[in-house]
A and B are shown apart, each in its own frame.
Chain A
Amino acid sequence: MAASLDVKLSDFVPRAIIRVFSTMMSLKLEALDSPSDANLQGERVVGSVGFAGAATGMVYFQVTDVFARIMTASMLGRKLQDINGADEVNDAIGELSNMIGGNLKSCLSDSGFPCALSIPSITRGSSFNIQTRNGAWCERFAFQYQEHHVLVEISVRVNSTEGGING
């Protein structure tokens, strides 16, 4: 992977995620220095969005099921106990993943890496091991809202003639 064109994910990804939370849910996220999934205990909800083109990769947006329900309630302006079942939560987390992916895609496209975005998908479980393909740049960003944690993992692989990604 060449590095002739710099796209520093850490310059805009945390800002974009904090803005998504504040605009859609009025929740003030704090960025953490040391990303780790050790804080995501219990059942996890993972929204993933893929992008393909001059830059190819995935965005994984991970939160606990408890926080996912809180986020859904905030987005819909409803009480937590009025959030029914996993479908509503999955839809909200999928849409938030889409917004984060859309922001990333816009940044990559504006930096000379045009790409297309996939429809978001949701995975639920309690033990995850996300591995990137050879040659992909992977970066993690962690955030906190009160006692709840958010982990965003981004893997990007670019055509060697196009440029590169810096963390």
Chain B
Amino acid sequence: MSLKILTVDDSKTIRMIVARAFQPFDCEIAEAANGVEGLAAAAREKPDLIILDLIMPLMDGVEMLAKLKSDPVLKSIPVIMLTAEAGRENVLKIAKLGVRDYMVKPFKEDALLEKAGRVLNLQVKAKEKKVKTLDDPALILIVDDKPAIIQQITEGISGTPWKVVGKAAGAEAMAEAKSSSPDVIVISLSLPNEEGFNLLQQFRSNPVTRGIPIFGMCVKTDLDLQARAEKSGFAGVITKPIDMESLKTKFIRVMELDVSTKYFSLDGEIQVLTLPEKITDQVTAAVEHYLQLKLNGMVDSGMNKFIMDLSQVVQVEPSLVKMIASTIQKRQILAIKIRIVGSPALKEQFKSFKETYEIKIEPSVAEAKKAFQPAKAS
């Protein structure tokens, strides 16, 4: 559910700046130009937060706040004062009024979001989180003072549309993250002075960067550091030496990428599943995740032909056998015709398993397509 924020300021410019600051978040912004309008809007909108100017015509911020606090329905609404006056006396006066926080103009939108983020659980708008696939670009921010590691990761993901930006220190990384909103952040836990852990807290306390998945990175043998990182709220730990396949799988998982395009494709009216040479646990998990959705989608759209192309697979693993058995079972329920493509060597390996002992293997996709056609009467 959207949060409601009420900005009360006699300057339309400031109201527009406030609205712009919250634009990326799932918030509705209500506006009022003075205390009188502000009280009416507060009663009408029941906002989750009020950002209140001090000096305004008709009714100033102090009077509006006093009336707000004396109203049993409205008194619990948190208020952040946004004022051009920062004198000691003024700050003390504001503090006594029971405001949650205050900001002095001039102000940066980031700072306002940070203060609002302490009061509200700001969430990035759902429409901003469109489902991405493996073909979509993504930005990976690596925070490490060792250029060789940044280079290694850059080269390791070179076959993807992802881009790596490397920063050696926390301040630069924070500035980069605020301006470019990376999809994933990796922080070296060997940065001096606990900077890796401190940086995680900074990212987590800023509403703009709060939702970005962040990995810690350390040497494989440093188990204590890995355990500490897991407890500190990192999305996971990447260990060095870096296994690039595992790294990519972790990135795919936290970015919630739709990897179905990697395995599933359409050939006319036929749904094709193409499995890679090596069937790892990650591949099995990804394919099984999408298999049911694809099969349901086929039935929904009136399709009934499915090819499992295993021609690249070299070694039959029990997980593959299980997947085939499960697919054949679903086929019977959903009335889908299945053809399996593989090499003669694969066919031999399938004979070692009870579930696939009698399975029919087509030598190519073309033959599999032909096999869907009804046999001609002789």
Contact = CB atoms under 8 A, between A and B. Distances in A.
Interface residues of B, number: 24
B62 to A, nearest CB: 11
A96 to B, nearest CB: 8
Contacts, number: 70
B313 to A, nearest CB: 54
B106 A23 contact: yes
Given A88-B12, A88-B13, A99-B105, A109 B89 contact: yes
B90 A106 contact: yes
B344 interface: no
| Most chain A Cβ neighbours within 10 Å, of B12, B55, B84 | B84
A95 B107 CA distance: 12
Interface in A90-109: 91-92, 94-95, 98-99, 101-103, 105-109
What is the interface of chain A mostly: helix, strand, loop, or mixed?
Answer: helix
Interface in B78-100: 83-90
Contacts of A108: 87
Contact of B85 (A23, A94, A95, A117): A117
Given A98-B55, A99-B105, A119-B56, A91 B85 contact: no
Given A76-B16, A119-B55, A98 B11 contact: yes
Contacts of B13: 72, 75-76, 88, 91-92, 95
Contacts of A114: 89
A-B complex: 9 closest residue pairs judged by Cβ atoms: A102-B84, A106-B87, A23-B106, A109-B87, A95-B11, A92-B13, A102-B85, A106-B86, A20-B106
Interface of B: 10-14, 16-17, 20, 55-57, 83-90, 104-108
Given A24-B105, A88-B12, A109-B87, 16 more contacts: A20-B106, A23-B107, A72-B13, A75-B17, A76-B17, A91-B11, A99-B105, A101-B84, A105-B85, A105-B87, A106-B85, A109-B85, A110-B88, A117-B55, A117-B84, A119-B57
